Amino acid sequence: MITLENVSKVYHTKSGDVQAVNNVDLKIEKGEIFGIIGYSGAGKSSLIRLLNGLEKPTKGTITVAGHRIDTIRGAKLRQARLEISMIFQHFNLLWSRTVRDNISFPLEIAGVKKQERLKRVNELIKLVGLEGREDAYPSQLSGGQKQRVGIARALANNPKVLLCDEATSALDPQTTDSILDLLVDINKRLGLTIVLITHEMHVVRKICNRVAVIEAGNIVEQGEVLELFRNPQQQITKRFLNQDSEPEETVEQLRAHYSDGKVLKLSFIGESTEQPLITNLIRHFDVNVNILQGKISQTQNGAYGTLFIQLIGENSVINQAIAFIEENKIGVEVIENE
């Protein structure tokens, strides 16, 4: 569905050349939700602009929904963009138009007849959950409702690809989750390929099948979301994962307050989240187990979680318990006192 081969983008400025995207290779399959995560200035926005033809690559080839986006121009590019739609962080709605008229706008541009437009708009309003708000103006809508209008408008021409540029960054956590749930529903109902640009690992974890991590214009790591949680290779990936789990101050507090025995950080992936680990530890080893805190979260490909526990007992027995945990394919990190 989407293929990038050896794609680079260099901006020529008065102060010198800026390498925004550097030799990127990506393949995104039809119907998947693919995340591209990176911090500000990493090259995310440049990459998404290359995907819809707003920018041309300095080198490399870009194919989206069967179109060579890096070479086509004019009418052919406009036609291709009917199949490549986009939603934005700040909604980009027409403030003088109602919800219905905003959604109808791309159909008007495409020359769709009025009755057909009205039918399609009503379908989309129902799809995104905006019944009863058809005649409201953007100023009368919440942030989540505005983004639902943006999504409906992006779907008006039945695109094959939906590009999401920081689509939830301006929303509160609860509204973010509702929009992400909507995107998953749309993906399943329509078989739409979704590319999601973000700096929030929570967003990637919740809805993406696969993810690429971008840093300084380079894709430094990519793969299935669950596999990245299981085995992150790059330091920047680990930073994103920490952002989505326990804060650093929590680890420091655990070091300071629990000095007896050993404090362990356990990492669960997939089926390991379903094991009765604590019961087995108590049953097989002469140790006291103190549960300090924990969290299990779901991804599109399975569950992952972290659990902090304190083991109190003979040092040799504690080491045997740690070996037992590792044998059960659960990650173990001993939180040492500094």
pLDDT tens readout for residues 68-93: 999 999 989 888 988 999 998 888 99
Beta-carbon contacts of 125 under 8 Å, excluding residues fewer than 6 positions away, are: 99, 100, 103, 131, 133, 134, 152
Written as six digits, the tokens of 64 are: 């989206």
Percent of the chain with pLDDT over 90: 62
**What's the pTM?**
0.81
Find the farthest-apart pair of alpha carbons in the chain and give their distance in angstroms, rounded: 79
At 283 the three-state DSSP class reads helix
The alpha helices in 10-136, defined as continuous H runs, are 44-51, 74-81, 99-109, 114-127
- CATH 3.40.50.150 for domain 2-243, yes or no, is no
The pLDDT tens digits of the residues spanning 110-163 come to 899 999 999 999 999 999 999 999 999 999 999 999 999 999 999 999 999 999
* Every domain of the chain and the residues it spans: 2-243, 248-335
246 pLDDT band, cuts 50/70/90, is low
CB 198 within 8 A of CB 179: no
Percent of the chain clearing pLDDT 70 (strictly above): 94
The average pLDDT across 156-181 equals: 92
Q: Are 156 and 162 in contact (CB under 8 A)?
A: no
Q: Check residue 120 and give its pLDDT.
A: 96
Write out the CATH class of domain 248-335.
alpha beta
